[in-house]
């Protein structure tokens, strides 16, 4: 059974909380004023919200007009394990035949999420363990789940869980208006047993409130944000040349992939990406005639941290950051309409095969490079 708890995800409970329900009331087929049964047979049993067959139940709370043009919000809830092994959480309701939802199915002791988009009464998979084969299941079904539905993330994780365990997709389209049925709001359930429901504003609709996963945010412009794609492009643009190198230096482009760990031996396939918006790694970059390969890592440091670009090994003698650091934080951030993150410059050392030359000018034919990250084509 789910443990009762009283908490809020937000710094300011009054500003962030839209609605909540602990379902602590007498057994009844009447759910109370906070809920609307659209289909199925929902009831209150033993201080829990229960349905043993599929059916739609929605909160009656219609959140206030958002900051911006879309409705962004978070859901916290406990699943109750017992007579059911699957649960359905409606994340954006339009009508009975059109809504985004997450199915959670217990396979032994492992809980697997599947993100669905229902259109015209038919479900299509947005994200699951077949589209992201490296994703981890949730092993503790008693923990509180946190779901975010916003312009920058559709995600699920444990409340307070590490970003690395999140399942997040950029394939999300928040509502610009509330459902035409004025008796219902945007979120609810379509199967399972639940307890301890909390419904909050997301930071994009109310800045003091929380987010789930990591995304691009311009710290100087609150309206400038975007979801990080699964592939990024690191471009090293030459800004100072070696006099020893006669050829004109060209930009160096390196693709970064959303994977959990290095080394990345081969280009990831379409199902090999991590489910979390946390780390993007390059393939090992081989420099001819140099002693060792190098690789780059882009790190999204949580929901408030600065994005970081690292190079490994950090003791590499031919290429080094302009600052004494294992990694550097972005100095200039633009998220929309085009993603662009500018980092501290990299300096290179020209390599000589002997005292009098010749010099190795390929690929490091410039003395200094600016490091720019954009979305990969």
- Helix, strand, or coil (residue 140): coil
Class of domain 13-212: mainly beta
Q: Assess whether the previous peptide bond of 337 is cis (omega < 30° from 0).
A: yes
Q: Which uninterrupted H or E stretch holds 15?
A: helix 13-16
CB of 318 within 8 A of CB of 349?
yes
**pLDDT value at residue 315:** 64
Contacts of 179 by beta carbon, 8 Å cutoff, 6+ apart: 93, 94, 95, 185, 186
Mean pLDDT by 10 residues, the chain (377 residues): 41 74 97 96 97 96 89 96 92 98 93 97 97 92 94 94 92 96 98 97 90 88 91 91 76 94 89 94 82 86 75 74 59 89 82 66 76 94
Measuring CA to CA, which residue among 94, 147, 87 is closest to residue 121? 94
- Enter the tokens of residue 45: 């049993």
**pLDDT value at residue 303:** 57
Question: Which residues are bridge partners to 74 per DSSP?
Answer: 148, 200
| Dist CA 176 CA 318 (whole Å) | 51
**pLDDT value at residue 221:** 86
Half-sphere exposure of 368 (CA within 13 A, CB side): 8
Q: Which uninterrupted H or E stretch holds 13?
A: helix 13-16
**pLDDT value at residue 140:** 86
Using the 8-state DSSP alphabet, how is residue 14 labeled?
Answer: H
- Enter the tokens of residue 41: 């047979």
Residue 10 CB: number of other CB atoms within 10 A? 19
Residue 374 CB: number of other CB atoms within 10 A? 15
Using the 8-state DSSP alphabet, how is residue 242 labeled?
Answer: -
**pLDDT value at residue 3:** 39
Residue 214 CB: number of other CB atoms within 10 A? 26
**pLDDT value at residue 233:** 97
At 163, phi and psi to the nearest 5?
Answer: -55, -30
- Enter the tokens of residue 360: 């190795």
- Helix, strand, or coil (residue 134): coil
Question: Which residues are bridge partners to 297 per DSSP?
Answer: 281, 310
Question: Which residues are bridge partners to 88 per DSSP?
Answer: 103, 191
| Dist CA 261 CA 257 (whole Å) | 10
**pLDDT value at residue 156:** 97
Map tokens 């979305």 to a residue: 375
- List the chain domain ranges: 13-212, 226-375
| Dist CA 76 CA 198 (whole Å) | 5
| Dist CA 129 CA 269 (whole Å) | 14
CB of 225 within 8 A of CB of 152?
yes
Map tokens 């002791």 to a residue: 109
- Enter the tokens of residue 243: 């006099």
Tell me the C-alpha to C-alpha distance, in Å, between residue 29 and each of 84, 86, 228, 296: 19, 21, 44, 57
**pLDDT value at residue 162:** 87
Question: Which residues are bridge partners to 167 per DSSP?
Answer: 156
């Amino acid at each position: 059974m789910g443990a009762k708890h009283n908490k809020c995800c937000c710094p300011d409970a009054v500003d962030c909380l839209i609605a909540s329900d602990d379902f602590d009331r007498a057994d009844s087929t009447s759910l109370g004023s906070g809920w609307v049964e659209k289909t199925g047979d929902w009831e209150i049993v033993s201080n829990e919200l229960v349905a043993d067959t599929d059916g739609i139940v929605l909160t009656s709370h219609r959140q206030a007009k958002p900051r911006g043009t879309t409705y962004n919000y978070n859901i916290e809830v406990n699943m109750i394990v017992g007579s059911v092994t699957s649960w359905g959480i409606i994340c954006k309701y339009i009508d009975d035949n059109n809504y985004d939802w997450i199915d959670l199915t217990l396979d032994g002791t492992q809980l697997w999420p599947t993100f669905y988009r229902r259109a015209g009464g038919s479900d299509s998979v947005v994200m699951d363990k077949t589209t992201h084969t490296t994703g981890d299941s949730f092993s503790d079904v008693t923990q509180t789940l946190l779901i975010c539905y916003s312009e920058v993330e559709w995600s699920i994780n444990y409340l307070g869980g590490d970003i690395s365990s999140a399942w997040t997709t950029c394939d999300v389209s928040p509502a610009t208006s509330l459902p035409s049925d004025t008796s219902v709001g945007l979120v609810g359930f379509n199967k399972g047993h639940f307890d301890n429901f909390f419904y909050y504003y997301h930071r994009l609709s109310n800045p003091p409130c929380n987010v789930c996963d990591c995304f691009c945010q311009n710290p100087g412009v609150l309206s400038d944000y975007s979801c990080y794609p699964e592939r990024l492009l690191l471009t090293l643009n030459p800004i100072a040349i070696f006099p020893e190198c006669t050829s004109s230096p060209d930009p160096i482009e390196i693709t970064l992939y959303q994977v959990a760990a290095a080394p990345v031996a081969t280009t990831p396939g379409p199902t090999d990406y991590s489910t979390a918006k946390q780390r993007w790694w390059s393939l090992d970059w081989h420099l001819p005639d140099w002693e060792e390969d190098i690789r780059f890592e882009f790190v999204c440091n949580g929901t408030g941290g600065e994005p970081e670009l690292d190079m490994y090994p950090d003791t590499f003698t031919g290429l080094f950051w302009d600052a004494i650091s294992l990694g550097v934080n972005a100095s200039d951030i633009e998220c929309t309409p085009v993603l662009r993150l500018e980092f501290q410059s990299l300096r290179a050392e020209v390599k000589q095969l002997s005292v009098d030359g010749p010099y190795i000018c390929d690929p490091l034919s410039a003395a200094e490079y600016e490091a720019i990250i954009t979305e990969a084509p």
